[in-house]
Amino acid sequence: MTAKLRLGVNIDHVATIRNARGGDHPDPVRAAEIVASVGGDGITAHLREDRRHIRDEDLARIQTATELPLNLEMAATQEMLEIALRHKPHAACIVPEKREERTTEGGLDAAGLHNTLAPIVEELKAAGIRVSLFIEATDRQLDASLRLGVPVVEFHTGEYAHAFLDGDNAKIEAELKRISDMAALAAKNGIEPHAGHGLTFENVQPIAAIPQIAELNIGHYLIGEAVFTGLEPAIRRMRELMDEAR
């Protein structure tokens, strides 16, 4: 039987709305509490270099407010490493980060950045933090992740989500095949595959159906839906769709 698929809810964009007015509402901590109350499996938050959404003080507040595991998304920098070591989240997902990008636009070049990543991965692992790399589902990046000794990779589903928006069925199929082949290869090599980026009610099920994938991290769409229906029903619906697909 396929294991239950975990849902990590990325609450960054609650903080985006808060920061638009500079005050403290809406509070991402309240969102984290709702995720916990509705049976979400984890909280994901990206502390960006420019602090455009989540801020340093939010991390400790989120960790205090819920028992859910925190998955900290972070760039591979000394500053973020120190923050991660101080907060000791359950997991740290290393992501590429460019100041000018609107969102994380592609996967981490784990192959090209081996020498930068290796000591960061080692320090995080030594601190008992579950390290994951946010990569494109390719042989080259998976191979590099294996060499870095990470227990988890998260496959970037952005290309798949774009293909869905374009209604490009051939591309959707090709992306699904790429992600599911790499998920199988990761699992075979002892790496737990996760996936995320751009997932919605419409496109989540084929990804959720990939049996080796253990966790999805979903943010922007859920927070957007929450504007219309509330966060709780939005998460419940996503959960139902994921369970149906499994």
In whole angstroms, what is the distance from residue 214 CA to residue 195 CA? Answer: 8
In whole angstroms, what is the distance from residue 219 CA to residue 37 CA? Answer: 17
- 46 in catalytic set: yes
The pair of three-digit structure tokens given for residue 218, joined into one six-digit string: 């979903």
In whole angstroms, the minimum distance from the beta carbon of 103 to ligand PXP comes to: 6
- Give the one residue of 199, 208, 210, 231 binding ligand PXP; rule: CB under 6 A: 199
For position 10 contacting ligand PXP by CB under 6 A, the verdict is: yes
Task: Check if the beta carbon of residue 56 is closer than 8 Å to that of residue 76.
Answer: no
For position 196 contacting ligand PXP by CB under 6 A, the verdict is: yes
Q: Which stretch binds ligand PXP (CB under 6 A): 23-31, 163-171, 174-182, 211-219?
A: 211-219
- Give the one residue of 5, 95, 186, 231 binding ligand PXP; rule: CB under 6 A: 95
The pair of three-digit structure tokens given for residue 207, joined into one six-digit string: 């990804």
- Which among 73, 159, 175, 225 is annotated as catalytic? 73
One-letter identity of residue 116: T
The pair of three-digit structure tokens given for residue 169, joined into one six-digit string: 């069925």
- 114 in catalytic set: no
In whole angstroms, the minimum distance from the beta carbon of 94 to ligand PXP comes to: 9
Closest CA relative to residue 154, chosen from 204, 212, 203, 99: 212
For 71-106, letters b (16+ CB in 10 Å) and e give bbbbbbeeebbebbeebebebbbbbbbeeeeeebeb
- The kind and range of the H/E element at 151 are none
- Give the one residue of 5, 31, 40, 46 binding ligand PXP; rule: CB under 6 A: 46
- 90 in catalytic set: no
- Which among 46, 53, 156, 194 is annotated as catalytic? 46
Q: Which stretch binds ligand PXP (CB under 6 A): 19-27, 167-175, 203-211, 218-226?
A: 218-226
Q: Which stretch binds ligand PXP (CB under 6 A): 24-32, 53-61, 113-121, 219-227?
A: 219-227
Put residue 232 in one of left, alpha, beta given phi > 0 → left and psi -120 to 50 → alpha: alpha
Q: Please identify, using beta-carbon distances, which residue of 18 and 197 lies nearer to ligand PXP.
A: 197
For position 28 contacting ligand PXP by CB under 6 A, the verdict is: no
CA distance from start to end of the chain: 10
In whole angstroms, what is the distance from residue 184 CA to residue 192 CA? Answer: 10
Q: Please identify, using beta-carbon distances, which residue of 1 and 9 lies nearer to ligand PXP.
A: 9
For position 104 contacting ligand PXP by CB under 6 A, the verdict is: yes
Cis peptide before 151 (omega within 30 of 0): no
Q: What's the length of the chain?
A: 246
Positions 156 through 195 that interact with ligand PXP (CB under 6 A): none
**Residues classed as catalytic:** 46, 73, 197
Site residues, ligand PXP (CB under 6 A): 10, 12, 46, 73, 93, 95, 103-104, 134, 154, 196-199, 217-221
